[in-house]
Amino acid sequence: MQPTGYKSIWQAGLLLAVCIWLTGCNLPVTPRGGGPTGSPPLPPEAGPTITPATYGVTLTYPCPQATQELPPRVDPLTSPTDQLSQVVHIQPGYYDEAVVETESGSFTGTFNGSEGAGVEVKLLPNTIHHLKVTVHVRLSSYGGCTYGGYSMTVFTDLQGQPLVIIQGKPAAPAAVTQPFGPGDFDRLKLLSRISLTDPQRAWSALFAPGDILLTFGFGQGVRRWQAPAGQPAGELLLNGESMTTSAVLSADGAWLATGSGGSDAADENQTSVRLWDLKTGQARLLGHQPSTVESLAFSPDSTLLASGGNDNTVLVWDVASGKQVAKFEGDVAKMADDVAKMADGSSLIQGMRQLFWADNATLIARGDAVIYSWKVPTGERLLELGGEYQNMDFYQPAGLLAVVREDGVYLRDPASGKLLLLSEGGESSRGYTQVAISPEGKVVAALNQQKITFWYTDTHTMVASGKNPAGAPLVFSPDWRYLAQVNWDDHTVSLWGVQP
């Protein structure tokens, strides 16, 4: 008896031999680019098909994955300067074009072999220019496979400093007085850009009273910045954790709660929930989540703190005593039709991504697969909305709940409990990743990388839609006067606001 698989192996060898004899089987190799970083990455495509006519053999193989290009390296800029133009130099790479966008316009240059690209940028007098440099990776083909053809963007130079040119003597950015609204797209301006170097790289941010921006992520602690200038404001809040995964302020702005990542609850600096006194900078450990802390929320009276984990659980803490007073769990195991299954048949565990309080006794949680609401004192479940919700916001005074799903933006009617589609439906409704309700509860804003769209909350009609200037998710200040964009790729934070 032949060993299992012997026949198929023998047939495969014969096919390969025929291929070599008839065509040479010119199998492609990953081409190397002309630049220092090699070839661009490969979009997944089917490779060429070899069909020796005599034997009717068809051999199909995938295109090999190419090496990812490194981000463009921009030489340090001259700033401040009294000149009205400056050449921005991008070092050579596997690129064909560079575009520099700033307050004075958009400027384009081409790459010239080992010299790289020099883009002349015109400067406005007495103006701070924040530069965005985008390069286009050359499109090429080899062996029937296509490579490149994509763009890469940076906001910092090769030393990690923000791409900023100060021309002349510009006035300091004025404090923003007007909240962002449907009619302000043309007046939403970049105010400042903050560079976060290792080990304080950020992946999220929130606003505190006094126009203070708090940034957190990788690195030990939370950093404070003063808007609109983006200057450091106070000492770094050190917590000893290597990764701060969530943070939230109490309603009165006196307390900051932080949660950390990791997988070992026995380690004091992993999966921890801490409470900070922002006046003194002192912190105390409340306890540990069984897994990474994904979300946090204070009750309106700041007496309770809820923490959501990556393990399908929500814990509730008493702020004064530090004791855990409640625990809630999702039940994705009961939703076999809506939740993916693992190989052993068990359900995937969902993370509790966002938390809100409807009042001092009612908690709302957005999980990966379900939105829940519980009555904290009794443990009674009040709400269970199935579906994959990507983002959510809650307006407590009116009980308004806005959500983003793959098929559009919805507002939950407080009276009927039904989800009402705000976006127009079809393909144009897709792609939104973030939703926010205005401070007075009159409009809902939904964002994606291309646009921001507003709807009225009472009539559910669209007010306006315009370009998202940041091209990324935005963090709104509570009064919507400031918006912050955290860029994970180059570790910068940009501050935006409406200017006269």
Tokens of 158: 């090769």
Q: Give the list of residues 6+ apart from residue 210 with CB closer than 8 angstroms, or none.
A: none
* Tens-place pLDDT, residues 283-320: 888 888 888 899 999 999 999 999 999 888 999 999 99
CATH level 2 (architecture), domain 185-498:
7 Propeller (2.130)
Distance CA 128, CA 134 (A): 19
Tokens of 49: 């098909």
Residue 372, SS3?
strand
Residues of the chain predicted below pLDDT 70: 1-61, 197-200, 219-220, 238-242, 262-269, 332-349, 425-430
Please report, for the chain, the start and end positions of each structural domain, with discontinuous segments joined by +: 6-62, 85-167, 185-498
pTM for the model stands at: 0.75
How many other CB atoms are found less than 10 A from the CB of residue 429?
Answer: 20
- Report pLDDT for 37: 41
CA distance from start to end of the chain = 86
Strands 117-122 and 451-456: unpaired
Nearest to 39 by CA among 145, 155, 118: 145
E strand map for 319-433? 324-329, 352-359, 362-367, 370-375, 381-386, 389-395, 400-405, 408-412, 419-421
How many other CB atoms are found less than 10 A from the CB of residue 139?
Answer: 12
The backbone torsions φ and ψ at residue 185, rounded to the nearest 5 degrees and listed phi first, read -60, -40
DSSP 293: E
Q: Give the list of residues 6+ apart from residue 493 with CB closer than 8 angstroms, or none.
A: 193, 194, 196, 202, 205, 213, 215, 225, 230, 484, 485, 486, 487
Tokens of 341: 């299954």
Distance CA 362, CA 387 (A): 21
- Please, are residues 269 and 242 in contact by the beta-carbon 8 Å criterion? yes
Distance CA 203, CA 165 (A): 25
- Report pLDDT for 260: 86
Long-range contacts of 379-384 (CB under 8 A, 24+ apart): 379/326, 379/328, 383/417
How many C-alpha atoms does 418 have within 13 Å on its Cβ side?
4
Q: How many residues does the chain have?
A: 500
* Tens-place pLDDT, residues 332-342: 644 444 444 44
- Report pLDDT for 239: 60
Q: What DSSP string describes 84-108?
A: SEEEEEE---SEEEEEEEETTEEEE
